[in-house]
Chains A and B, each alone.
Chain A
Amino acid sequence: MLLITCPYCGVERPEIEFRYAGEAHIARPAEPSKLTDEEWAEYLYMRTNPKGLLAERWRHAHGCGRFFNAIRDTVSDRFVTIYKMGEAKPDLERLVVEAAQ
């Protein structure tokens, strides 16, 4: 069971308090009706699914209820960083370099 830090509560809590909510930084298009079918399918279904660092959303469902973002290594399951909704996505390549040091 993973331990996850909620950036709003500021505490580390077991995974069962949280719900996974898919890849992060996929904004809903402002005007969906102007998108082609291909563009809409891209938004709906296509995800990066990387082997390595992934920006993803979690919700502290059984705590404060807030959504937040996290960078997790899909190989090791390790959380590299956690940040609040609305904050900029970290530079994943730089994180990889930092992790290697």
Chain B
Amino acid sequence: MTQDFRTSAGGRIDRSSPVDFTFDGKAYRGFAGDTLASALLANGIHLVGRSYKYHRPRGIITAGSEEPNALVGIAREKGQNTPNLRAPQVEIYQGLNAESQNRYPSLSFDVGAVNDLLSPLFVAGFYYKTFMWPRSFWQKVYEPFIRSAAGLGKAPTDPDKDRYANHYAHCDVLVIGSGPAGLAAATAAAQSGARVILCDEQSELGGSLLHDRTSAVDGKPAVDWAADAIRALSENDKVTLLPRTTGFGYYAQNFVALAERVTDHLANPDPRLPRERLWQVRAKEVVIATGAIERPLVFPENDRPGVMMAEAGRIYLNRYGAMAGKRVVIATACDTAYRTAVDLKAAGVDVAVIADLRPDPAGVHVDAARSAGIRIEGACVVTGTKGRLRVKSARLGRIRPDGSVTAMGEEACDSLLMSGGWTPNVSLYSQSRGKVAWDEDAGAYLPGASVQHERSAGSCHGVFGLQAVLEDGYAAGENAARAVTSAAKRPKVPAVTGGEEGAGGTLGALPHDRDPARVRAFIDFQNDVTAKDVKLAVREGFHSIEHIKRYTTTGMATDQGRLSNMNALSVASKTLEKPIPQVGLTTFRQPYTPVTFGTFATTARGEAFDPVRRTPMHDWAVEKGAEFEDVSLWKRAWYFPKPGESMHDAVARECATVRESVGIFDATTLGKIEVVGPDAAEFLNRVYTNPFLKLGVGRLRYGIMLNEAGFIMDDGVVGRIAEERFHVTTTTGGAPRVLAHLEDYLQTEWPDLNVWLTSTTEQWAVIAVQGPKARDVIAPLVEGIDLSTESMPHMSVREGKICGVPTRLFRMSFTGEAGYEINVPASRGREVWDAVWNNVEAVGGAPYGTETMHVLRAEKGYIIVGQETDGTVVPDDVGMDWAVGKKKADFIGMRSLARPDIVVAGRKQLVGVLTNDPKVILEEGAQVTAEASPALKTPALGYVTSSYYSSALGRSMALAMIADGRGRMGDTLYVSTAEGAVAVEIVSPVFYDAEGGKQVA
């Protein structure tokens, strides 16, 4: 197809640069500077999509980001498509491959269109009404149906290959929108010396000036004046110009998020460029200059392809040289549509008639149309359209003084351009948490008082007419600059000819002479919401506009209802017989238009999503073939399988090796805090349940830390290195939380205590050596420490050297075997590890991972905070009342241990669980009940917290938290499994070496 609907000259396209692209697989040609929408229109294509619910054929309606119908998917390569792009915003490039959406198998023949015939089923609230019953239909019938028939566009299937960038920026004045108001504001602010960012969602700056054929500013055509203003701004070092950049989110304290589309419009983008760039702008002042949006007219069959907004018709004509049609009917209630009529006529388009709702249209724009010889009918309304995939004719009717309508016959046309007047675009003002106010004279919601440092300029706050808009823009720019600099000035406002304000407008459904039961007038094109749907919702009791929105889905389109809201509101207001301000307006929220996930993620993807923490021994574990698990940000060696070993085999072998010989374990990830000062012991005495004042130098103590509510928040071993120096360890994941907790009490409750806290987690590497041969293995490497049990018993710490490296050597055990934890500076960790490993290997020892560590401690009944505890567990619940200092006057959480709900009987207590069948390994989290098949709604007695195969026991074992557990020793209870309940015996949680002789040997 050739570009039959292209004008012979004019527009901002480059006619010397043809661009070939495909739409639904068919080849078309446009020109550089075209959008997909303008290029399709130039080729005579209006039909570009099917509607969401009824699959009705739909055409291009607007020329902006508010486009509800022309949503397309763009495929760059396989698996990398972007869905739901708005065709008026898609710039064509050589080879562009665009697909329409929501149609099967093709745009012109769509099987889903049967929904249209079934439309009585799809009334307001159809989601809530239709898919209710029977319940079993959900999974098999309703959901697959909704998923295949509904939904716009296809999500990409592969990970996004593109890069996205992030940019933090600060400026004095951020101007959003570069039409006449925005350009004027940016110019005034820049000339005042302010640092300015001017952004616009379109490919070119200039806004409405780019398609204004008739106005002149400062004696120049409007478009030339705009070019000069933009050039002046671009030459100013303090000004940043950002086309293709949508201000999509206005947040607290003038934090505004912009999405810049960097390469999507290019055929062969520089691979060094990101696809999109997120700008996080902190602006001292913001000028919102986002213009106004033309309202559709709500008349029967207003959704037929070929029906378009009047201003869009003028934009496509003047900016892109694309004609909406060759014979056009214009339906309006507003003067601005006359400008479209005049421009079309001047371009050689046959303007059949201007049908104006108003009985006596008058004014400068009307006069211009009349003198161009265009037929004008007052008190005239469109009552319908005909045509299958494109409008062929418009039905017209005469509005009589009593409001009734009589048919005037049909007018043949291939396009119908409509205007219901203008809605100020208050989205960003609303996002800034400002409250919009109803303005009766303007018939619109306008920005009210500023909540943040912002001001609106131009038609987005109800100022219309080019001269007034420019004046308003200069004033806004000057005032914004004045707020941040002392030298604000307002440039002389240039004289404007033309561009006069266009009066008029209408809201809500238009009168007609058709059978109301048989025709539909659409309010929200994207969601297929009609005037009838809104009325029905009101009749069914939805009186708040927020409820009506959710029930009918009106205003939930990709433009958040900028196009449809006011018409919906008007219909609701008339049905409710309440004035519009009493019905309210839905809140506009971020983002202004859809933003890609990539732009939000920026560089935080893959490896850069979160930091990864690795210990000095990490590479060694990798070389040894370890499997790893993530513990908070750490990579921890999980187990060390030998060739051919399963995880079960490896863990059983590692456990046996530790119990019988010796194992080496990387405990570097434990949190470590150095607590120093004259009051260090007093401080620890207050934050742990255990007594610490009398802990001797060189001794270790296991400590439990509670929060003030009495619940266990962390545990660890504390060593007294010197009278005023303690080495505190925390759980791997708990270190930052514990440090913050300690700092909180130290700084805010007990500032009188002279104590310093320093995180030393990163400074120490920790090598655990556990097992009967542990001492033999490390002894040859240690200098200056007597390792004999008499001199260095269980739970003691000594300073000395190992392999020549300074060490704090802990004698302690989390396995039940005798053992050591060797603390050395992290930078020396690997060399000490290698030396210790040599000796471990020589005696037949093995490295072990976190899984073996978990099994060994569970055999001893040692808890893991966060596994046996869940934030509601006190020490007595896990059998650790022994760790609570009874003689202490106070410690954090102590008072709570006497609360009625803590001392009450029936709390869950830690127990051991043995399945009657020793081969069954329970699932952690499984529920424990008194009966195998309890009656429905019987509460569980508790749940399994840890469950393993124990090589020491030669069978399975588990820990559980069970109501009154310690009183149930020997009882048989039941635990749910995937194969049904199994019988278990409740036993002591200490399965191995209950006397504890091994670890002190």
Interface residues in chain A, defined as those with a beta carbon under 8 Å from any beta carbon in chain B: 1-3, 19, 21, 27-28, 31-33, 35, 37, 40-41, 44, 57, 59, 61, 65-67, 76-78, 85-86
| Interface contact B743-A65, CB-CB below 8 Å | yes
| Interface contact A85-B747, CB-CB below 8 Å | yes
Q: Residue A3 contacts which of B282, B748, B751, B899 (CB distance < 8 angstroms)?
A: B282
Answer yes or no: B451 CB below 8 A from chain A CBs: yes
Quick one: closest A residue to B433, CB to CB? Answer: A76
Stretch at the interface among B87-95, B310-318, B887-895: B887-895
| Interface contact B433-A31, CB-CB below 8 Å | no
Q: What's the Cα separation between A82 and B987 when bound, in Å? A: 56
Answer yes or no: B551 CB below 8 A from chain A CBs: no
Q: Residue A40 contacts which of B252, B280, B749, B899 (CB distance < 8 angstroms)?
A: B899
Q: What's the Cα separation between A57 and B280 when bound, in Å? A: 27
Answer yes or no: B708 CB below 8 A from chain A CBs: yes
Q: Write the B687-718 contact mask toward A (1 if CB under 8 angstroms, else 0).
A: 00000000000000000000011000000000
| Interface contact A37-B899, CB-CB below 8 Å | yes
Which B residues are in CB contact (< 8 Å) with A33? Answer: 889-890, 894-895, 898
Q: What's the Cα separation between A40 and B740 when bound, in Å? A: 23
Quick one: closest A residue to B255, CB to CB? Answer: A1
Output the least CB separation between A43 and chain B (Å).
8
Q: Residue B900 contacts which of A1, A32, A37, A65 (CB distance < 8 angstroms)?
A: A37
| Interface contact B751-A40, CB-CB below 8 Å | no
Which B residues are in CB contact (< 8 Å) with A57? Answer: 748
Which A residues are in CB contact (< 8 Å) with B251? Answer: 1
Output the least CB separation between A72 and chain B (Å).
11
Which B residues are in CB contact (< 8 Å) with A40? Answer: 895-896, 899
Quick one: closest A residue to B736, CB to CB? Answer: A61
| Interface contact A44-B743, CB-CB below 8 Å | no
Q: Which 6 A-B pairs have the closest CB atoms?
A: A32-B895, A67-B747, A28-B749, A77-B252, A3-B253, A67-B748
Answer yes or no: B744 CB below 8 A from chain A CBs: yes
Quick one: closest A residue to B757, CB to CB? Answer: A65
| Interface contact A2-B253, CB-CB below 8 Å | yes
Which A residues are in CB contact (< 8 Å) with B747? Answer: 66-67, 85
Quick one: closest A residue to B750, CB to CB? Answer: A28
Can you identify 14 A-B contacts, CB atoms within 8 angstroms? A1-B255, A1-B280, A32-B890, A32-B894, A32-B895, A33-B890, A33-B894, A44-B896, A59-B740, A59-B743, A67-B743, A67-B747, A67-B748, A78-B253
Output the least CB separation between A47 and chain B (Å).
14
Q: Residue B709 contacts which of A21, A44, A77, A85 (CB distance < 8 angstroms)?
A: A44
Which A residues are in CB contact (< 8 Å) with B889? Answer: 33
On whether A85 and B748 interact (CB within 8 A), knowing A44-B708, A59-B740, the answer reads yes
Which A residues are in CB contact (< 8 Å) with B749? Answer: 27-28
B:137-194 near A, CB below 8 Å: none
B:738-766 near A, CB below 8 Å: 740, 743-744, 747-749, 751
Which B residues are in CB contact (< 8 Å) with A31? Answer: 890
B:104-156 near A, CB below 8 Å: none
Which A residues are in CB contact (< 8 Å) with B433? Answer: 76
Which B residues are in CB contact (< 8 Å) with A27? Answer: 749
Which A residues are in CB contact (< 8 Å) with B252? Answer: 1-2, 77
Quick one: closest B residue to A29, CB to CB? Answer: B895
| Interface contact A19-B740, CB-CB below 8 Å | yes
Q: What's the Cα separation between A61 and B759 when bound, in Å? A: 13
B:233-290 near A, CB below 8 Å: 251-253, 255, 280, 282
Instruction: Contacts A2-B252, A3-B282, A44-B708 known; list 17 others, CB within 8 Å.
Output: A21-B744, A28-B708, A28-B749, A32-B894, A33-B890, A33-B894, A33-B895, A33-B898, A40-B895, A59-B743, A59-B744, A61-B740, A65-B743, A67-B744, A67-B748, A77-B252, A86-B751
Quick one: closest B residue to A57, CB to CB? Answer: B748
Q: Write the B856-880 contact mask toward A (1 if CB under 8 angstroms, else 0).
A: 0000000000000000000000000
Which A residues are in CB contact (< 8 Å) with B743? Answer: 59, 65, 67
Q: What's the Cα separation between A1 and B898 when bound, in Å? A: 42
Which B residues are in CB contact (< 8 Å) with A86? Answer: 751
Q: What's the Cα separation between A76 and B751 when bound, in Å? A: 33
B251, B253, B749, B898: residue with the most chain A Cβ atoms closer than 10 Å: B253
Which B residues are in CB contact (< 8 Å) with A65? Answer: 743
Output the least CB separation between A93 and chain B (Å).
23
Output the least CB separation between B853 and chain A (Å).
30
Q: What's the Cα separation between A73 and B748 when bound, in Å? A: 23
Q: What's the Cα separation between A85 and B747 when bound, in Å? A: 8
Q: What's the Cα separation between A37 and B280 when bound, in Å? A: 49
Q: Write the B276-310 contact mask toward A (1 if CB under 8 angstroms, else 0).
A: 00001010000000000000000000000000000
Q: What's the Cα separation between A48 and B846 when bound, in Å? A: 57
Output the least CB separation between B166 and chain A (Å).
13
Which B residues are in CB contact (< 8 Å) with A37? Answer: 899-900
Quick one: closest B residue to A76, CB to CB? Answer: B451
Output the least CB separation between A10 and chain B (Å).
18
Output the least CB separation between A95 and chain B (Å).
18
Which A residues are in CB contact (< 8 Å) with B740? Answer: 19, 59, 61
Q: What's the Cα separation between A32 and B252 when bound, in Å? A: 40
Q: What's the Cα separation between A59 and B742 when bound, in Å? A: 13
Q: Write the B673-689 contact mask toward A (1 if CB under 8 angstroms, else 0).
A: 00000000000000000
Which A residues are in CB contact (< 8 Å) with B898? Answer: 33
Q: What's the Cα separation between A1 and B896 when bound, in Å? A: 37
Output the least CB separation between A21 and chain B (Å).
7
Which A residues are in CB contact (< 8 Å) with B744? Answer: 21, 59, 67
Quick one: closest B residue to A39, CB to CB? Answer: B895
Which A residues are in CB contact (< 8 Å) with B748? Answer: 57, 67, 85
Q: What's the Cα separation between A27 and B255 when bound, in Å? A: 35
Output the least CB separation between B211 and chain A (Å).
37
Which B residues are in CB contact (< 8 Å) with A21? Answer: 744
Which A residues are in CB contact (< 8 Å) with B282? Answer: 3
Q: What's the Cα separation between A85 and B449 when bound, in Å? A: 35
Output the least CB separation between A34 and chain B (Å).
9
Quick one: closest A residue to B747, CB to CB? Answer: A67
Output the least CB separation between B294 and chain A (Å).
34
Output the least CB separation between A101 and chain B (Å).
16
Output the least CB separation between A46 and chain B (Å).
13
Q: What's the Cα separation between A27 and B748 when bound, in Å? A: 9
Q: What's the Cα separation between A77 and B898 when bound, in Å? A: 39
Q: What's the Cα separation between A35 and B900 when bound, in Å? A: 13
Q: What's the Cα separation between A40 and B749 when bound, in Å? A: 16
Which B residues are in CB contact (< 8 Å) with A19? Answer: 740
Which B residues are in CB contact (< 8 Å) with A41? Answer: 899
Which B residues are in CB contact (< 8 Å) with A78? Answer: 253
Which B residues are in CB contact (< 8 Å) with A32? Answer: 890, 894-895
Quick one: closest A residue to B282, CB to CB? Answer: A3
Q: Write the B774-807 contact mask toward A (1 if CB under 8 angstroms, else 0).
A: 0000000000000000000000000000000000
Which B residues are in CB contact (< 8 Å) with A61? Answer: 740
Q: What's the Cα separation between A27 and B750 when bound, in Å? A: 10
Output the least CB separation between B788 and chain A (Å).
42
